Protein backbone atom coordinates (compact mmCIF):
# COMPACT_ATOMS: atom_id res chain seq x y z
CA UNK A 1 0.00 0.00 0.00
CA UNK A 2 2.70 2.54 0.85
CA UNK A 3 4.49 1.75 -2.40
CA UNK A 4 1.34 2.36 -4.40
CA UNK A 5 0.73 5.60 -2.54
CA UNK A 6 4.31 6.70 -3.20
CA UNK A 7 4.01 5.93 -6.91
CA UNK A 8 0.70 7.80 -7.10
CA UNK A 9 2.27 10.81 -5.37
CA UNK A 10 5.17 10.83 -7.81
CA UNK A 11 2.84 10.62 -10.80
CA UNK A 12 0.67 13.41 -9.40
CA UNK A 13 3.78 15.51 -8.80
CA UNK A 14 4.96 14.97 -12.38
CA UNK A 15 1.54 15.93 -13.74
CA UNK A 16 1.57 19.15 -11.70
CA UNK A 17 5.11 20.00 -12.87
CA UNK A 18 4.17 19.39 -16.52
CA UNK A 19 1.02 21.49 -16.13
CA UNK A 20 3.09 24.37 -14.75
CA UNK A 21 5.63 23.94 -17.55
CA UNK A 22 2.87 24.11 -20.16
CA UNK A 23 1.44 27.28 -18.60
CA UNK A 24 4.76 29.12 -18.32
CA UNK A 25 5.04 30.35 -21.95
CA UNK A 26 1.73 32.20 -21.64
CA UNK A 27 2.79 34.01 -18.46
CA UNK A 28 6.27 35.20 -19.46
CA UNK A 29 7.94 37.48 -21.98
CA UNK A 30 9.41 36.09 -25.18
CA UNK A 31 12.93 36.37 -23.78
CA UNK A 32 12.03 34.34 -20.67
CA UNK A 33 10.40 31.71 -22.86
CA UNK A 34 13.62 31.50 -24.85
CA UNK A 35 15.63 31.13 -21.63
CA UNK A 36 13.49 28.24 -20.40
CA UNK A 37 13.76 26.62 -23.82
CA UNK A 38 17.53 26.74 -23.34
CA UNK A 39 17.07 25.17 -19.89
CA UNK A 40 15.30 22.19 -21.47
CA UNK A 41 17.97 21.94 -24.18
CA UNK A 42 20.73 21.91 -21.57
CA UNK A 43 18.78 19.33 -19.56
CA UNK A 44 18.81 16.95 -22.54
CA UNK A 45 22.58 17.39 -22.95
CA UNK A 46 23.17 16.98 -19.21
CA UNK A 47 21.10 13.83 -19.09
CA UNK A 48 23.18 12.35 -21.90
CA UNK A 49 26.43 13.26 -20.15
CA UNK A 50 25.13 11.93 -16.83
CA UNK A 51 24.36 8.55 -18.39
CA UNK A 52 28.00 8.38 -19.45
CA UNK A 53 29.73 9.89 -16.41
CA UNK A 54 27.30 9.44 -13.54
CA UNK A 55 25.95 5.98 -14.37
CA UNK A 56 28.81 4.44 -16.36
CA UNK A 57 31.79 6.21 -14.79
CA UNK A 58 33.39 7.52 -18.01
CA UNK A 59 34.60 11.10 -17.59
CA UNK A 60 34.10 13.32 -20.65
CA UNK A 61 35.35 16.85 -21.20
CA UNK A 62 34.40 16.78 -24.85
CA UNK A 63 30.63 16.74 -25.07
CA UNK A 64 30.64 20.28 -26.37
CA UNK A 65 31.97 18.72 -29.59
CA UNK A 66 28.87 16.54 -29.98
CA UNK A 67 26.71 19.55 -29.14
CA UNK A 68 28.43 21.39 -32.00
CA UNK A 69 28.06 18.46 -34.41
CA UNK A 70 24.34 18.28 -33.68
CA UNK A 71 23.89 22.03 -34.16
CA UNK A 72 25.82 22.10 -37.43
CA UNK A 73 24.05 19.01 -38.77
CA UNK A 74 20.73 20.81 -38.38
CA UNK A 75 22.06 24.12 -39.71
CA UNK A 76 23.64 22.58 -42.82
CA UNK A 77 20.60 20.45 -43.62
CA UNK A 78 18.30 23.45 -43.35
CA UNK A 79 20.56 26.04 -45.00
CA UNK A 80 22.16 23.97 -47.77
CA UNK A 81 19.57 21.29 -48.52
CA UNK A 82 16.29 23.00 -47.49
CA UNK A 83 15.27 20.02 -45.37
CA UNK A 84 12.54 20.57 -42.78
CA UNK A 85 13.88 21.19 -39.29
CA UNK A 86 11.82 18.32 -37.88
CA UNK A 87 13.86 15.80 -39.86
CA UNK A 88 17.18 17.31 -38.85
CA UNK A 89 16.77 16.67 -35.11
CA UNK A 90 16.73 12.82 -35.23
CA UNK A 91 19.38 12.93 -37.97
CA UNK A 92 21.68 14.91 -35.68
CA UNK A 93 21.06 12.39 -32.90
CA UNK A 94 21.79 9.39 -35.12
CA UNK A 95 24.95 10.98 -36.54
CA UNK A 96 26.26 11.74 -33.05
CA UNK A 97 25.33 8.23 -31.95
CA UNK A 98 27.55 6.76 -34.69
CA UNK A 99 30.41 9.20 -34.07
CA UNK A 100 30.21 8.68 -30.30
CA UNK A 101 30.22 4.89 -30.71
CA UNK A 102 33.22 5.01 -33.06
CA UNK A 103 35.08 7.39 -30.75
CA UNK A 104 34.25 5.19 -27.78
CA UNK A 105 35.83 2.08 -29.31
CA UNK A 106 39.48 3.24 -29.30
CA UNK A 107 38.87 5.20 -26.09
CA UNK A 108 38.14 1.90 -24.28
CA UNK A 109 41.84 1.57 -23.58
CA UNK A 110 41.71 4.80 -21.59
CA UNK A 111 40.20 5.36 -18.18
CA UNK A 112 39.83 8.19 -15.70
CA UNK A 113 41.91 11.26 -16.39
CA UNK A 114 43.38 9.77 -19.58
CA UNK A 115 39.90 9.41 -21.06
CA UNK A 116 39.05 12.94 -19.91
CA UNK A 117 42.18 14.22 -21.69
CA UNK A 118 41.23 12.39 -24.91
CA UNK A 119 37.74 13.88 -24.89
CA UNK A 120 39.23 17.27 -24.02
CA UNK A 121 41.26 17.12 -27.24
CA UNK A 122 38.05 16.35 -29.14
CA UNK A 123 36.42 19.48 -27.76
CA UNK A 124 39.45 21.53 -28.80
CA UNK A 125 39.65 20.08 -32.31
CA UNK A 126 36.03 20.18 -33.51
CA UNK A 127 35.55 24.00 -33.51
CA UNK A 128 38.75 24.39 -35.53
CA UNK A 129 37.67 21.69 -37.99
CA UNK A 130 34.33 23.48 -38.44
CA UNK A 131 36.19 26.65 -39.44
CA UNK A 132 38.17 24.74 -42.07
CA UNK A 133 35.15 23.54 -44.11
CA UNK A 134 33.98 27.06 -44.84
CA UNK A 135 31.78 26.11 -47.81
CA UNK A 136 29.57 23.98 -45.59
CA UNK A 137 29.89 25.62 -42.19
CA UNK A 138 30.29 29.29 -43.11
CA UNK A 139 33.71 29.38 -41.45
CA UNK A 140 34.13 31.76 -38.54
CA UNK A 141 30.98 33.64 -39.59
CA UNK A 142 28.77 30.62 -39.01
CA UNK A 143 25.29 30.02 -40.42
CA UNK A 144 22.23 32.18 -39.83
CA UNK A 145 18.84 30.43 -39.72
CA UNK A 146 15.22 31.50 -39.34
CA UNK A 147 13.09 30.39 -36.42
CA UNK A 148 10.29 28.08 -37.60
CA UNK A 149 6.69 29.14 -37.25
CA UNK A 150 4.16 27.04 -35.39
CA UNK A 151 2.53 24.39 -37.64
CA UNK A 152 -1.17 23.66 -38.13
CA UNK A 153 -1.98 27.37 -37.58
CA UNK A 154 -1.45 27.06 -33.85
CA UNK A 155 -1.81 30.43 -32.08
CA UNK A 156 1.78 30.35 -30.84
CA UNK A 157 4.77 32.58 -31.48
CA UNK A 158 8.03 31.12 -32.77
CA UNK A 159 9.54 31.09 -29.28
CA UNK A 160 6.46 29.49 -27.75
CA UNK A 161 6.36 26.78 -30.41
CA UNK A 162 10.05 25.96 -29.92
CA UNK A 163 9.45 25.87 -26.17
CA UNK A 164 6.74 23.22 -26.49
CA UNK A 165 8.68 21.27 -29.11
CA UNK A 166 11.72 21.14 -26.81
CA UNK A 167 9.57 20.23 -23.81
CA UNK A 168 7.99 17.28 -25.64
CA UNK A 169 11.39 16.00 -26.82
CA UNK A 170 12.76 16.42 -23.29
CA UNK A 171 9.94 14.37 -21.75
CA UNK A 172 10.33 11.60 -24.36
CA UNK A 173 14.10 11.41 -23.87
CA UNK A 174 13.74 11.44 -20.09
CA UNK A 175 11.31 8.50 -20.25
CA UNK A 176 13.64 6.60 -22.58
CA UNK A 177 16.58 7.22 -20.26
CA UNK A 178 14.58 6.14 -17.21
CA UNK A 179 13.46 2.92 -18.88
CA UNK A 180 17.01 2.21 -20.05
CA UNK A 181 18.56 2.75 -16.63
CA UNK A 182 15.86 0.72 -14.83
CA UNK A 183 16.34 -2.24 -17.19
CA UNK A 184 18.86 -5.06 -17.14
CA UNK A 185 21.04 -3.01 -19.48
CA UNK A 186 21.01 -0.13 -17.00
CA UNK A 187 22.09 -2.43 -14.17
CA UNK A 188 24.95 -3.66 -16.34
CA UNK A 189 25.99 -0.05 -17.06
CA UNK A 190 26.13 0.73 -13.34
CA UNK A 191 27.92 -2.54 -12.56
CA UNK A 192 30.70 -1.59 -14.98
CA UNK A 193 31.08 1.72 -13.18
CA UNK A 194 31.25 0.10 -9.75
CA UNK A 195 33.65 -2.74 -10.64
CA UNK A 196 34.30 -3.54 -14.29
CA UNK A 197 36.35 -6.67 -13.44
CA UNK A 198 33.49 -8.16 -11.43
CA UNK A 199 31.04 -7.15 -14.17
CA UNK A 200 33.11 -8.97 -16.81
CA UNK A 201 33.32 -11.99 -14.53
CA UNK A 202 29.51 -12.09 -14.53
CA UNK A 203 29.46 -12.19 -18.34
CA UNK A 204 28.94 -8.49 -19.11
CA UNK A 205 30.69 -7.35 -22.31
CA UNK A 206 32.31 -4.26 -20.83
CA UNK A 207 33.80 -3.02 -24.11
CA UNK A 208 30.50 -3.18 -25.99
CA UNK A 209 28.50 -1.56 -23.20
CA UNK A 210 30.97 1.30 -22.81
CA UNK A 211 30.93 2.02 -26.55
CA UNK A 212 27.14 1.92 -26.73
CA UNK A 213 26.79 4.17 -23.68
CA UNK A 214 29.23 6.64 -25.23
CA UNK A 215 27.14 6.62 -28.42
CA UNK A 216 23.83 7.06 -26.58
CA UNK A 217 25.28 9.90 -24.52
CA UNK A 218 26.58 11.60 -27.67
CA UNK A 219 23.16 11.15 -29.33
CA UNK A 220 21.40 12.96 -26.48
CA UNK A 221 23.92 15.79 -26.68
CA UNK A 222 23.57 15.94 -30.47
CA UNK A 223 19.80 16.31 -30.20
CA UNK A 224 20.34 19.11 -27.68
CA UNK A 225 22.75 20.81 -30.08
CA UNK A 226 20.26 20.53 -32.94
CA UNK A 227 17.51 22.11 -30.83
CA UNK A 228 19.89 24.85 -29.74
CA UNK A 229 20.75 25.69 -33.34
CA UNK A 230 17.04 25.99 -34.19
CA UNK A 231 16.16 27.99 -31.06
CA UNK A 232 19.05 30.46 -31.36
CA UNK A 233 18.79 30.50 -35.18
CA UNK A 234 22.55 30.83 -35.46
CA UNK A 235 25.59 28.56 -35.21
CA UNK A 236 29.27 29.53 -35.17
CA UNK A 237 32.39 27.58 -34.14
CA UNK A 238 33.27 29.94 -31.31
CA UNK A 239 29.95 29.15 -29.63
CA UNK A 240 31.16 25.60 -28.96
CA UNK A 241 34.50 26.17 -27.28
CA UNK A 242 35.96 24.10 -24.47
CA UNK A 243 34.08 26.19 -21.90
CA UNK A 244 30.83 24.63 -23.10
CA UNK A 245 32.12 21.13 -22.30
CA UNK A 246 33.28 22.26 -18.85
CA UNK A 247 29.91 23.93 -18.26
CA UNK A 248 28.07 20.69 -19.09
CA UNK A 249 30.27 18.74 -16.69
CA UNK A 250 29.63 21.39 -14.03
CA UNK A 251 25.89 21.01 -14.60
CA UNK A 252 25.77 17.28 -13.86
CA UNK A 253 27.87 17.68 -10.72
CA UNK A 254 25.70 20.53 -9.42
CA UNK A 255 22.46 18.74 -10.34
CA UNK A 256 23.58 15.40 -8.95
CA UNK A 257 25.63 12.59 -10.46
CA UNK A 258 23.75 9.42 -11.40
CA UNK A 259 20.35 11.11 -11.14
CA UNK A 260 17.81 11.72 -13.89
CA UNK A 261 16.05 14.69 -12.33
CA UNK A 262 19.43 16.28 -11.58
CA UNK A 263 19.66 17.27 -15.24
CA UNK A 264 16.86 19.81 -14.76
CA UNK A 265 18.45 21.40 -11.69
CA UNK A 266 21.86 21.48 -13.34
CA UNK A 267 20.37 23.10 -16.45
CA UNK A 268 18.68 25.78 -14.35
CA UNK A 269 22.01 26.46 -12.66
CA UNK A 270 24.12 26.84 -15.81
CA UNK A 271 21.43 28.93 -17.53
CA UNK A 272 20.57 31.42 -14.80
CA UNK A 273 23.46 31.60 -12.31
CA UNK A 274 25.91 33.17 -14.81
CA UNK A 275 23.26 35.82 -15.56
CA UNK A 276 22.83 36.52 -11.86
CA UNK A 277 26.60 36.78 -11.50
CA UNK A 278 26.63 39.30 -14.37
CA UNK A 279 23.91 41.35 -12.66
CA UNK A 280 25.78 41.34 -9.33
CA UNK A 281 29.14 42.39 -10.77
CA UNK A 282 29.68 43.40 -14.36
CA UNK A 283 33.40 43.87 -13.68
CA UNK A 284 34.09 40.33 -12.41
CA UNK A 285 31.11 38.07 -13.21
CA UNK A 286 33.16 34.88 -13.33
CA UNK A 287 34.54 35.55 -9.85
CA UNK A 288 30.95 35.72 -8.58
CA UNK A 289 30.10 32.57 -10.55
CA UNK A 290 33.06 30.82 -8.93
CA UNK A 291 31.81 31.84 -5.48
CA UNK A 292 28.38 30.39 -6.35
CA UNK A 293 30.06 27.12 -7.36
CA UNK A 294 32.08 26.93 -4.15
CA UNK A 295 29.00 27.59 -2.01
CA UNK A 296 26.92 24.99 -3.87
CA UNK A 297 29.61 22.33 -3.61
CA UNK A 298 30.17 23.06 0.08
CA UNK A 299 26.47 23.07 1.01
CA UNK A 300 25.42 20.33 -1.45
CA UNK A 301 28.38 17.95 -1.95
CA UNK A 302 26.07 15.35 -3.56
CA UNK A 303 24.34 17.84 -5.83
CA UNK A 304 20.95 19.48 -5.57
CA UNK A 305 19.05 16.20 -5.88
CA UNK A 306 21.15 14.60 -3.15
CA UNK A 307 20.52 17.60 -0.90
CA UNK A 308 16.75 17.44 -1.50
CA UNK A 309 16.68 13.69 -0.82
CA UNK A 310 18.56 14.13 2.45
CA UNK A 311 16.24 16.97 3.47
CA UNK A 312 13.18 14.82 2.69
CA UNK A 313 14.54 11.93 4.74
CA UNK A 314 15.21 14.19 7.71
CA UNK A 315 11.71 15.68 7.50
CA UNK A 316 9.93 12.33 7.23
CA UNK A 317 12.06 10.34 9.69
CA UNK A 318 10.33 11.71 12.85
CA UNK A 319 6.93 10.82 11.38
CA UNK A 320 8.09 7.29 10.52
CA UNK A 321 9.59 6.84 13.99
CA UNK A 322 6.36 8.06 15.58
CA UNK A 323 4.25 5.59 13.59
CA UNK A 324 6.55 2.71 14.58
CA UNK A 325 6.34 3.69 18.24
CA UNK A 326 2.55 3.88 18.04
CA UNK A 327 2.39 0.46 16.42
CA UNK A 328 4.60 -1.05 19.10
CA UNK A 329 2.43 0.49 21.84
CA UNK A 330 -0.73 -0.96 20.28
CA UNK A 331 0.79 -4.41 20.02
Note the pLDDT of residue 324: 52
Residue 325 has pLDDT above 60, yes or no: no
Share of the chain above pLDDT 90, in %: 65
DSSP code at position 108: G
For 28-326, CATH gives 1.10.3470
| 3-class secondary structure per residue, 199-255 | HHHCCCCHHHHHHHHHHHHHHHHHHHHHHHHHHHCEECHHHHCHHHHHHHHHHHHHH
Long-range contacts of range 194-197, CB-CB < 8 Å, 24 or more positions apart? 194/57
| Tens digits of residue pLDDT in 293-307 | 888 888 898 899 999
**Residue 143 belongs to what H/E stretch?**
strand 143-144
Burial of 151 (0-12, 13-18, 19+ CB in 10 A): exposed
Domain boundaries, the chain: 28-326
Number of residues that this document lists for the chain:
331
Residue 213 has pLDDT above 80, yes or no: yes
Residue 315 has pLDDT above 50, yes or no: yes
This prediction has a pTM of 0.92
Amino acid sequence: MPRGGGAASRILGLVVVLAIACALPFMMSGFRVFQFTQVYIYAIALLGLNILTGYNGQISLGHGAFYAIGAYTTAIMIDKWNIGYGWTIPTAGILCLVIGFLFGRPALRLEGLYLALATFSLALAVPQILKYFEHWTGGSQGIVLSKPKAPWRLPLSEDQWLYFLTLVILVVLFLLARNLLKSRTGRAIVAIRDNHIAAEAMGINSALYKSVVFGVSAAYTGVAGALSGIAIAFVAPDSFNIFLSITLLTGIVIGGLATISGAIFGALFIQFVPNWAQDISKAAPWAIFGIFLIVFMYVMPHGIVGFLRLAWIRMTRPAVTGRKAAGEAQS
